[in-house]
Structure 1
Amino acid sequence: MSHVIEMLNIRKEFPGIVANDDITLQVEQGEIHAILGENGAGKSTLMSILFGLYHADKGKILVRGKEAHIHSPNDANDLGIGMVHQHFQLVHNFTVTENIILGKEGRFFLDRKGASKKIKALSEKYGLNIDPDMVIEDIT
């Protein structure tokens, strides 16, 4: 099986801090990864690089074997890369569904009920036990 995403030798520095140094992450189709570490370990920075919120100082990203230049979340989305953001980045008075569809651009009318059904099905498929109609501030 080939890798669908490869982050190779990624380095990211902020003034006075090295957030990531020579990090390699390889993901195969169908895999689910959890990146664990203490606060300040660089997990969010690495994922923000993959999603185009930050840019690596060194290293490269391959998507399906081709080098990808991800400059924004829209670029990531176009490559099939989605991101579930940490709770502090969610809109607390929106539902789970509203937070997920918030970034859907180019439409004036959204099918909230349809989106909610899809999210519930995915939640059940992966055993996440998430009610798509719950308001973010009311859940852990």
Structure 2
Amino acid sequence: MTLHNADHVVVVAGALYDRGRLLAARRSAPPELAGRWELPGGKLEPGESAEKALVRELREELGVETEPGERIPGEWLLKPGYVLRVWTARLVSGEPAPLEDHDELRWLGRDELGSVDWLDVDRPAVDAVAARLWPAPARDA
């Protein structure tokens, strides 16, 4: 099933999770987004599955091999005609480096997620990822 259709372009992002931390990437381009943080990823190519696109994009942007995990429920409008869909991803090999569109990477723990200036469109996605990766502890009755 392809997620690319005439109505919108799907942008896939990876919630790259390793040793209890989530990877954040600071944009270096375009100018209106530079300096703000996002979950790394990119556009689906026609006929490409979301999982394959995620692996390809993380390889191109970060120089790492990853394994897609579960899709985070929901999708977020990036701009007219573009929607963001997020998957968890596991680092298989390599050390992430900012190769394309980013100038800095940071591994963030649960209580550090607010320490970077996330892109507005990424904030709800990051919140959804955090709820999935770090569920709230059960309360004693």
TM-score normalised to the size of structure 1?
0.27
Q: Which protein is richer in strand relative to its size? A: 2
Q: Which protein is richer in helix relative to its size? A: 1
Q: For CA contacts below 8 A with separation 6 or more, give which structure has more relative contact order.
A: 2
